[in-house]
Amino acid sequence: MEGKFTVTARKFRPMTLTQMVGQRHIVRALTNALEKQRIGHAYLFCGTRGVGKTTAARAFAKSLNCIKGPIAEPCMECGNCLEITAGNAMDVMEIDGASNRGIDNIRELRERIMFSPSKSRYKIYIIDEVHQISRDAFNALLKTLEEPPEFVVFIFATTEQGKVPETILSRCQSYEFKALSMVEIGGHLKMIAEHEGIKVAPSALDLIARRARGSMRDAQSMFDQAEAYGAGEVTDEDVKTALGLVDSSTMANLMDGVMARDMAGIMTAASAVSASGADPASFLEDMAALVRDIMAAKLAPDTMAGREEKEKASLLQWAGALDYDELQRFFNVLADTLRNMKYSSQPHLSMEMGLLRLGEKRGMASLDEAIAEVARAQAEAEKEAPEEPFEFPLESARDEESLANLSSAPDDIRMAVSGASGGAEALLEAFKETRPILLGIMESATVQVKGDVVVIIVRDMHSLQHLEELDMKSALQQVVRQMVSPTARLVVEYHPEKKNDNGEEARPAGDGEDSLKKQMVDSPIIHEAMDIFNLEVVDVRPNKGA
């Protein structure tokens, strides 16, 4: 009977720190700590899936508990090393954080920690996906984690460091595992293929390495899948068919259609992708990676070293035809489509509509084009502008300096307009005729002419707000320039009415019923009421109510 098949990820798992692929910064730090006997009591290994966190934890455990250790290169022959490799070492416990996340599990763990190791130097606890432990359980672990027995070492592994409480992070040495490069993944897969006697096309290895996106475990799983499909020989087509990938020629045709704004061609290519049964999200991710490669070819051609000549030529051609802003727009469209696809019941339709958006004309001009358009508009505006544009006073009507200048103007200059145009009263009547709404406002307003400055004094904030409106002030300014002088200015002042101790309006000395009667008789509103109802003013009495 033939031996049982072992998946590549387990069969070729590194046994020691020095055998690990990539992660040189972590290997160096841990081996130096072992050589100098500077062993910490808690470590946190964080990074994306399949980059070697658990593998490093097991290798580190062997280095700590090897009979010849602590040592960077364990013997792999002693009982401790063999038991850890087999996964049955009594003093090295691997715990799944997802299924042991409660406070009761942590309390039980704390009780076991106090017992010395049965046969090894250290009692090592490897807790995978530690971020899934509940907050109460973390709190129960704090004291033990801060001051554990000298023979205990914790090694935590997580893909989401942000979910681990700060109180835990501060008690651990954190190591960030990086995503592996395509070169590292491709080289390791090539070594595996040679060891297993499998013929693999180099381009097929590159395709798997690119698809793995930095995860060695994912790459090894895809390698097993492609090898099973190819039955001992793996080609590009085997990888694409086994993994459900879209042919590169389809992506090239799609990109050509996008560049030519050929909506029919884009729709044909998108329909072909849907008909092939490929995962739409994966295809859009591949398209986004292609856009990134085009951007790299445009900005840093040196990064294309090692690519096939045909692929390099296509990337350079697209990079020359597309500008930076257009490539950014492509990437944003693909990213938006991927986000929206998560909530779609028909992801293939979302993919097709997103690809069609790539072929649309740009809805927004580039920065240079926008600046040029603004410059053209300004030039046209200057040509059409009047020779003497009208200006509104920017200074505040309540500016003390302006008021001082106005009040100090000579009387003969301030009254020069009186004989020519009827003075302040003529202006007041002209203002009333300009806008009907001013009839009520001007009844309580005072108009003063001071040289080339006409001042309207209002008593309430409501009137001030009306007069300060742009179109209202423009109309009044025209009246002032027609009746006073072409250079005359209009200023609106706000003088709130003073109140006496009873909250009533304070009248100036000598202001009695005669003055009040005169104001009422002179009021245009009273005049209109008298004409309509055939009335006359007999008596005027001030309101004595509260």
Angle at 291 between CA 290 and CA 292, to 5 degrees: 90
pLDDT given for residue 457 in this prediction: 86
Q: Is 126 in a helix, a strand, or coil?
A: strand
- Spatial CB neighbours of 508, under 8 Å, sequence gap ≥ 6: none
- Spatial CB neighbours of 6, under 8 Å, sequence gap ≥ 6: none
pLDDT given for residue 546 in this prediction: 40
Which of 166, 157, 212 is CA-nearest to residue 187? Answer: 212
pLDDT given for residue 1 in this prediction: 44
* Separation of alpha carbons 89 and 150, rounded Å: 19
- The structure's pTM equals 0.60
Which of 295, 281, 201, 200 is CA-nearest to residue 245? Answer: 281
Helix (H) / strand (E) element for 175: namely strand 173-176
Tell me the sheet residues that pair with 458.
494
pLDDT given for residue 391 in this prediction: 43
Contact 537, 530 (CB under 8 A): yes
How many CA atoms are closer than 13 Å to the CA of 213, on its beta-carbon side?
Answer: 8
Which of 156, 255, 246 is CA-nearest to residue 207? Answer: 246
pLDDT given for residue 367 in this prediction: 54
pLDDT given for residue 33 in this prediction: 94
Would you say how long the chain is, in residues?
546
pLDDT given for residue 92 in this prediction: 93
Tell me the sheet residues that pair with 21.
none
Please provide the DSSP assignment of 440-477 as one string. Answer: HHHHS-EEEEETTEEEEEESSHHHHHHHTSHHHHHHHH
Helices 182-196 and 216-230 meet at what angle, rounded to 10?
A: 40
pLDDT given for residue 519 in this prediction: 62
Domain-wise residue ranges, the chain: 8-178, 246-384, 400-494, 508-546
User: How confident is the prediction along the chain (546 residues), in pLDDT tens digits per residue?
Assistant: 456 788 999 999 999 999 999 899 999 999 999 999 999 999 999 999 999 999 999 999 999 999 997 999 999 999 999 999 998 899 999 988 888 778 888 888 888 888 899 889 999 999 999 999 888 888 888 888 888 889 999 999 999 999 999 999 999 999 999 999 888 999 999 999 999 888 998 888 888 988 888 999 999 999 999 988 887 788 888 888 888 788 777 888 888 888 888 898 889 888 888 888 888 888 898 889 889 989 999 898 887 776 777 888 888 889 888 888 889 999 999 999 999 888 888 888 889 899 999 888 655 545 555 566 666 666 666 665 554 444 444 444 444 444 344 344 444 333 334 433 446 777 777 777 777 667 677 777 788 888 778 888 888 777 777 777 757 777 788 888 888 888 888 888 878 766 555 555 555 444 455 555 666 666 666 766 776 776 766 666 665 544
* Separation of alpha carbons 383 and 379, rounded Å: 6
Tell me the sheet residues that pair with 45.
157, 175
pLDDT given for residue 411 in this prediction: 42
CATH classification for the domain delimited by 400-494, as one of 3.30.1050, 3.30.300, 3.30.70, 3.40.50: 3.30.300
CATH classification for the domain delimited by 246-384, as one of 1.10.238.10, 1.20.1250.20, 1.10.3720.10, 1.20.272.10: 1.20.272.10
What is the architecture, at CATH level 2, of domain 8-178?
3-Layer(aba) Sandwich (3.40)
Neighbours of 367 (CB within 10 A): 9
* Separation of alpha carbons 152 and 110, rounded Å: 11
Q: Detail the DSSP E strand segments found in 238-327.
A: none
* Separation of alpha carbons 55 and 74, rounded Å: 14
Contact 209, 188 (CB under 8 A): no
pLDDT given for residue 6 in this prediction: 86
